[in-house]
Amino acid sequence: MNVVEFTGLIFAGAVAAGFLGALTGLGGGVVIVPLLTILFGVDIRYAIGAALVSVIATSSGAAAAYVREGYSNVRVGMFLEIATTLGALAGTVVAVYLHASMIAVIFGVVLIYSAYASLRQQDHVTQDLGPDPLASRLRMDSSYPTENGFESYHVRGVPGGFVLMFVAGVLSGLLGIGSGAVKVLAMDRVMKLPFKVSTTTSNFMIGVTAAAGAGVYLSRGYIDPGLAMPVMLGVLLGSTWGARVLAAAQVRVLRWVFSGVIGALAVEMIYGGVRGRF
């Protein structure tokens, strides 16, 4: 296989990864890393570096649109980015020294959780428990557009959300994924943000978190432009395509298909890691 053929296959795989990631809201990173390592034999650290670059590219455009439409809570996002950035830096440092097989096993476990989170994800009404002193002091309470106009909400559980965001940042830096499932868990379940606000604010934060991790991978030489470029372009194209299909698709069926694919990749990653194939 020559360079052109290899690049074309990488691009096609990245398109599929971006498409699947957009349909579930988990991003293409959860697919592209096992795809590169299992099917193409790419070193897992180079695969993670390429995935981080693609996360930065795909989150930027959508994040700007969500902020403009009034969904994202910028104050919450900017505050929690402190935790995710510190976590991403810690995760990338650990990844440099951690054995590749151990990273593969951790990735497989996170994939299983991502598949589970994808199946349980639903747009539900979050109970408003009233203002929280710390959140009020930080002026995090806001409103978001609904069918009946803008609806106000209160933010709660700031310390717990901050801790979970640090964990999400570690996973992002360690595994090259947006870790959106953990971010949404922190904001939706712990901080009691409306679901649409949680998902859009998570998207707003993902690019910054990935950029912090990508800087460390770049300094260590684990970002190969020849690999990162087709991955970035492919995931960007696939996610755009997936976002358009999502509007008319049966989301529940898609989530089951996605979870099945992710589950198979998770088993392969864990098995390969235990056997020392990475």
Provide the mean pLDDT of the chain: 80
Give residue 28's pLDDT.
65
Which uninterrupted H or E stretch holds 149?
strand 149-153
Residue 247: is its pLDDT beyond 60? no
Across 28-51, average pLDDT: 84
Q: What is the pTM of this model?
A: 0.74
Is residue 271 pLDDT above 70, yes or no? yes
Both structure tokens of 199: 């998902």
Task: Say if CB 121 and CB 259 are below 8 A apart.
Answer: no
Residue listed under structure tokens 């090259």: 176
* Cα 215 to Cα 39, 152, 178, 251, 270, distances in angstroms: 26, 37, 15, 35, 27
Residue bearing the bigger pLDDT, 53 or 117: 53
CA nearest to 30, candidates 146, 127, 108: 108
Does pLDDT of 141 surpass 60? yes
What mean pLDDT do residues 246-258 have?
64
Whether residue 103 contacts residue 47, with contact meaning beta carbons closer than 8 Å, is answered with no
The one-character DSSP state at 126 is P
pLDDT above 70: percentage of residues in the chain: 82
Q: Could you read off the pLDDT of 159-189 as tens digits, one per residue? A: 998 998 898 888 877 877 766 667 767 787 7
Per residue in 176-223, pLDDT (tens digit) is 776 666 776 778 778 888 877 887 787 778 777 778 788 888 888 889
Residues 111, 266: Cα–Cα separation, whole Å: 6
Confidence class of residue 27 from pLDDT cuts 50, 70 and 90? low
Q: So what's the pLDDT on residue 159?
A: 92
List, as one string, the DSSP characters of 188-232: IIIS---HHHHHHHHHHHHHHHHHHHHHHHHHTT---HHHHHHHH
Token reading at 277: 């194939």
- What pLDDT score does 179 carry? 67
> What is the full DSSP assignment across 40-97?
S---HHHHHHHHHHHHHHHHHHHHHHHHHHT-S-HHHHHHHHHHHHHHHHHHHHHHHH
Q: Please report the pLDDT score of residue 102 as a whole number.
A: 86
Q: Is the predicted pLDDT of residue 82 greater than 60, yes or no?
A: yes
How large is the average pLDDT for residues 233-247? Answer: 76
What are the structure tokens assigned to 22, written together?
């957009």
- DSSP code of 123? -
What is the rounded distance in angstroms from the CA atom of residue 164 to the CA atom of residue 177? 15
